[in-house]
Amino acid sequence: MVQQKRRAHSRYKATGNDGDYKLFSDLRKSCGALSRSLYNAYLNDVQSSLLTNVKAFWNYVNYKDGVSSPPTTMTYMGRQSDSLLETANLFAQYFSSVYEQPVLCEPSYPVVDVVSIGLVSVSLGRVQQALASLDPTKGMGPDGVPPILLRNCPSLAIPLHALFNKSLVSGTFPQVWKASFLTPIHKQGSRSAVDHYRPISTLSTIPKTFEKLVLQDTAPLLYPVIAPQQHGFVPGRSTLSNLVAFQEYVLGAFEGGCRQVDCISTDFSKAFDKISHKHIIAVLRAVGLHGAFLSWLGDYLHGRTMQVRLRGVTSASFPASSGVPQGSHIGPLLFLLLINTVVPEISDVQFLLYADDLKIFTKVDDAQDAALLQNSLDKLLAWCGVNSFFLNRSKCFVISFLKTQNPISFPYILDGEALQKKDQARDLGVLFDSRLLFPDHVGMVAGRAMRALGFLKRCTREFTNVAAITHLYLTMVRPIMEYASVVWSPYYEVHKQELERVQRKFLRYVAYRSGGLDDYHPESLRAGLGLPTLETRRLLADTMFFLKLVIGELDCPALLAQISLHAPSYPSRLSTLFYVPFSTTNYLYHRPLHRLPRQ
């Protein structure tokens, strides 16, 4: 019909005939009606498919915002690209610059021999289950094999089973499975600057499935090697368990009479990309891996290649000479085993890890305590030099948590320069202040949620499905106000209402989209949508965290050791199951492990 309209318009322009104009006008009107009808059908499809196909919604958002992949013309180190291929190669040059050259010397680590794994095999049944569970909507990797093919052809499990076990027995990993595609994702700043992007890796489905099967057998044997202070990529631990453990240590120190806790937060530069393959293999040998399986892991790491893929164009291939594969299943575990070797160097003070996010801290009653923390920082720096880790000095800092007006000021030094001191700092997404009161964090969270709500409203101006709009609120806005709430849950009404204001604004928007505000009753609308108050949600999060800790779903011995059963000396109808410690101040009364047993 569009072609007919164009031909009719050309004919009218050529003849000026009224009949030709009427034909063109009728076709133009029909095209407009059809376009509106198809667009409305598309909108309905986007809304109805939100629960099953969120990609359709983001495609719609990008279409409305005019956002696309990186522009064709990009700049990097004074060079400018004029084609997609040149742009892809500029990205390849930038992404390849983070990798380190292989170390020449063979490192060694103290033999632990916690496990003994020399040969691993996978069963046919497990291969079949893995293929059946593949997500058919995922795209293909460098090998060109789409997941939907593997899922819909279960007979492929037989040759893959033979191939997987042949690889494990021979101690080699097929070269074709070592290739990765990198997709540039914009971080911030100018969209035309290459160094304002980060890479997202896409591996082929078959080797990822292979890795997953191997990990299922070996990971449970290797997790006990990892220190309990490591909360990243370990079952039963998370950012939340890390943050609560840290908060409980600081507040416990205050309750015990200490007036100051100093914490040094470190930042490793591109740690996952820069660690040495030889160091990884040496650590694996030290914990008890040997034989064909150790050779297989070495070959798995060695000889990996990457290409940047940009709108169907691929860059020249470049080697990943260091690091663990991004997006892999085995890579995070290998990283944890290597960074675990830092534990003996910093065991004189307290420390917590989340993957490569390390903080060391201790009670400071005098300058000698601070000197002990400085000594651990010196040992950490020396360890980095030996193990191919690189501290980003500009992002390392110290923060003192205080219960005094006269803190002990100690000049912490890193590699010859004084560490910057902060009064508040973000740790794993939570803004900590020196008094652990979190008013600024509540304000930050409310502001972020309000901006996310504004984005939601802009994206759903043409939506008519209230259920779809509510689903977007539940996935895009509310999680911002609930992340790690066990740590910072507000107890002053002013801070509670600062958060509830966001949800009330959403309810008002829904009422407006549903027919107007004349009969708007927020509480009845909230109940009708099945939305509890945010305070109720935080209480539920508290309860679930405490329950998981008690029944062992959370693997955090330091927290579990602080929970005691209540054993009254005489019977009482008001007796509680768990002992509730007495607190002398508001913020100690509301600390997590004092607050949770009361609920």
> Each residue of 370-418: pLDDT tens digit?
999 999 999 999 999 999 899 999 999 999 999 988 899 999 999 999 9
Return the DSSP state at 50: T
Residue 545 falls inside a structural domain = yes
Residue 238 falls inside a structural domain = no
Total-model pTM: 0.90
What the block records as the tokens of 291 is 């034989």
Residue 65 falls inside a structural domain = no
Residue 153 shares a structural domain with residue 102: yes
Residue 348 shares a structural domain with residue 490: no
Q: In which residue are the tokens 């912490």 written?
A: 412
Return the DSSP state at 483: T
CB 418 within 8 A of CB 412: yes
State the DSSP H helix or E strand holding residue 537, giving kind and residue range, or none if neither. helix 534-551
User: Which range has the worst mean pLDDT, 9-23, 267-281, 358-372, 418-432?
Assistant: 9-23
Residue 89 shares a structural domain with residue 200: yes
Domain end: 399, 433, 467, which one?
A: 433
Contacts of 19-25 with CB under 8 Å at 24 or more apart are none
Residue 27 shares a structural domain with residue 99: no
Residue 82 shares a structural domain with residue 191: yes
Q: Which of 116, 168, 103, 121 is nearest to 286 (CA)?
A: 116
Residues 352, 241: Cα–Cα separation, whole Å:
10
What is the pLDDT at residue 575? 64
- Bridge partners, residue 184, by sequence: 199
Q: What is the largest CA-CA distance in the chain?
A: 106
Model pLDDT for residues 255-264, shown as the tens digit of each residue: 888 999 999 9
Model pLDDT for residues 564-581, shown as the tens digit of each residue: 766 566 666 656 777 777
Mean pLDDT across 19-42:
74
Mean pLDDT across 458-477:
88
- Check whether 442 has a pLDDT greater than 80: yes
Residue 520 falls inside a structural domain = yes
* Sequence-ordered list of residues with C-beta below 8 angstroms from that of 13, at least 6 positions apart, any chain: none
Residue 417 falls inside a structural domain = yes
Cα end-to-end span (Å), the chain: 66
Residue 329 falls inside a structural domain = yes
Mean pLDDT across 446-451:
96
Residue 450 shares a structural domain with residue 329: no
Residue 162 shares a structural domain with residue 24: no
Domain end: 374, 400, 433, which one?
A: 433
What is the pLDDT at residue 12? 66
What is the pLDDT at residue 67? 59
At residue 50 the predicted structure's pLDDT band, cuts being 50, 70 and 90, is: confident
Residue 468 shares a structural domain with residue 330: no
Residue 16 falls inside a structural domain = yes
What is the pLDDT at residue 574? 58
Q: How many domains does the chain have?
A: 5
User: Each residue of 358-389: b (16+ CB within 10 Å) or e?
Assistant: bbbbbbbeeeebbeebbebbebbbebbeebbb
Residue 320 shares a structural domain with residue 172: yes
Mean pLDDT across 242-258:
94
What is the pLDDT at residue 571? 66
Domain end: 504, 531, 558, which one?
A: 531
Residue 101 shares a structural domain with residue 219: yes
Q: How many CB atoms lie within 10 A of CB 337?
A: 19
- Which is higher by pLDDT, 544 or 106? 544
Residues 132, 134: Cα–Cα separation, whole Å:
6
* Sequence-ordered list of residues with C-beta below 8 angstroms from that of 389, at least 6 positions apart, any chain: 268, 271, 274, 275, 339, 383
What is the pLDDT at residue 539? 94
Residue 303 shares a structural domain with residue 382: no
Task: Tell me how far the alpha carbon of residue 431 is from its chain's centroid.
Answer: 17
What is the pLDDT at residue 404? 85
As to burial, measured by CB atoms within 10 angstroms (0-12 exposed, 13-18 middle, 19+ buried), residue 139 is exposed
Residue 232 falls inside a structural domain = no
Residue 496 shares a structural domain with residue 349: no
CB 591 within 8 A of CB 247: yes
The CA-based angle 488-491-492, given to 5 degrees, is: 120
Mean pLDDT across 363-373:
95
Q: What is the domain extent for residue 120?
A: 75-227+278-337
Mean pLDDT across 534-550:
94
Query: Number of C-alpha atoms within 13 angstroms, CB side, residue 291?
Result: 10
Mean predicted lDDT score pLDDT of the chain:
89
Q: Which of 221, 223, 263, 268 is nearest to 246 (CA)?
A: 263
State the DSSP H helix or E strand holding residue 390, giving kind and residue range, or none if neither. none
